[in-house]
Amino acid sequence: MSRLLSHLGPGLPILAAPMSGGPSTPALVTAAARAGGLGFLAAGYKTPKTLAEQVRTVRADGVPFGVNVFVPNPVSVSAEDYRDYVRAIRPEAALYGLRLPDGEPVEDDDHWRDKIDLLLADPVPVVSFTFGLPGRSVVAELRRAGTVVVQTVTSADEARGAAGIGVDAVVVQASAAGGHSATFTSAHPPGAVPLPELISRVRGAVPLPVIAAGGLGGPAGVAGVLAAGAEAAMIGTALLRTEESGASAPHKAALADPAFDTTVITRAFTGRPARALRNHFVERYDHVAPVGYPALHHLTGPLRKAATAAGDTRLMHLWAGTGHRHARTEPAARTFARLAGGL
């Protein structure tokens, strides 16, 4: 057991990834810890009030846990490109009686400072960051509060930047991961480097503990990244169909539906690269979607919500990693036990 994992508390070197938008419920985070691992609440897209409530819920269960925060790293989109995309997807919105905004693109920082203030006032065991570097002062403040700070990276260069601001460890995310890429440069997403090779590159660049993520669904994959030098494996998509997951019923069903047999990286839904099951929306709009986050996230949000409520998998964002066929309908504890079978 590494010093990092000994400090965090898990007996298994398997962590439940933070999955924003609903899947990472307090119940899933607690289940991960009770199975011997460690789970992360996803602060992304939540209000500080909701995040505080979820922190209290998990803390009351008496288990170690982490919180993942999106670092503001907006990529602006021109008003012209934004309106062109509004016009392109308007027919889909009309199916649900939605009127898409065609004014200025909406930009925000996802309540960044309020969330940092919350995590300083009420420290949690671990805080991880995604989409960019939080800054040396934020890292120092969290560490002084007793929090282990982890940075998600997608390359050796990003890992060097993380080491430079004093983080305790890095999550190395391969392009096979489901959902958003953690890349700092969303206009230029990382290439498809196999996860063991990416681990090797990062370990050669920085002396930090490595947690491996991306496409892990079976015990062989978990054992493989540990053999490659990672201290723990982080799983996400493999937990989406578990009983504790907050993923929607249509999303869970699509992960096992033979009709959805391919995952692709797309910016059609949010203007930022993310891996999803290929569906109608991806096929029709990925090639015309501009880079622009969080503007496109806000633009398509009402449509995605309406489609999810209607079970319309043609228009939903069906985030999924390349190992999505490993996701099963079962308690999360069983998933953890299965993935640990090769250790």
* pLDDT for the residue numbered 45: 96
Between the CA atoms of 256, 260, 264 and 269, what dihedral angle is there, to the nearest 10 degrees?
Answer: -90
Tens digit of each residue's pLDDT (9 = 90 or more) over 200-212: 999 999 999 999 9
Decide if 210 contacts 227 (C-beta within 8 A): no
Closest CA to 285 of 100, 109, 10: 100
C-alpha pair distances (Å), 217 with each of 17, 116, 331: 12, 32, 15
Which residues, other chains included, contact 56 with Cβ-Cβ below 8 Å and sequence gap of 6+?
none
Closest CA to 270 of 157, 131, 98, 172: 131
> For residue 187, what pLDDT band results from cuts at 50, 70 and 90?
confident
- Supply the Cα-derived Rg of the chain in whole angstroms: 19
Tens digit of each residue's pLDDT (9 = 90 or more) over 96-112: 999 998 788 988 999 99
DSSP 54-94: HHHHHHHTT--EEEEEEPP--B---HHHHHHHHHHHHHHHH
Q: What is the distance, to the nearest Å, from the Cα of residue 60 to the centroid of all Cα atoms in its chain? A: 24
Say which residue the tokens 């460690």 belong to.
38
* pLDDT for the residue numbered 1: 46
Closest CA to 233 of 11, 14, 4, 9: 14
Closest CA to 67 of 158, 12, 149: 149
Which residues, other chains included, contact 181 with Cβ-Cβ below 8 Å and sequence gap of 6+?
154, 173, 175, 189, 190, 265, 272, 273, 274, 275
Decide if 320 contacts 237 (C-beta within 8 A): yes
Say which residue the tokens 């700070």 belong to.
149
Whether pTM exceeds 0.85: yes
Q: Which of 3-7, 30-34, 235-239 has the lowest mean pLDDT?
A: 3-7
3 pLDDT more than 90: no
Decide if 294 contacts 274 (C-beta within 8 A): no
Which residues, other chains included, contact 309 with Cβ-Cβ below 8 Å and sequence gap of 6+?
none
Decide if 292 contacts 82 (C-beta within 8 A): yes
* pLDDT for the residue numbered 311: 97
Tens digit of each residue's pLDDT (9 = 90 or more) over 128-165: 999 999 999 999 999 999 999 999 999 999 999 999 99
Tens digit of each residue's pLDDT (9 = 90 or more) over 271-316: 999 999 999 999 999 999 999 999 999 999 999 999 999 999 999 9
237: left (phi > 0), else alpha (psi -120 to 50), else beta?
Answer: alpha
Measured distance CA(300)–CA(176) in Å, rounded: 24
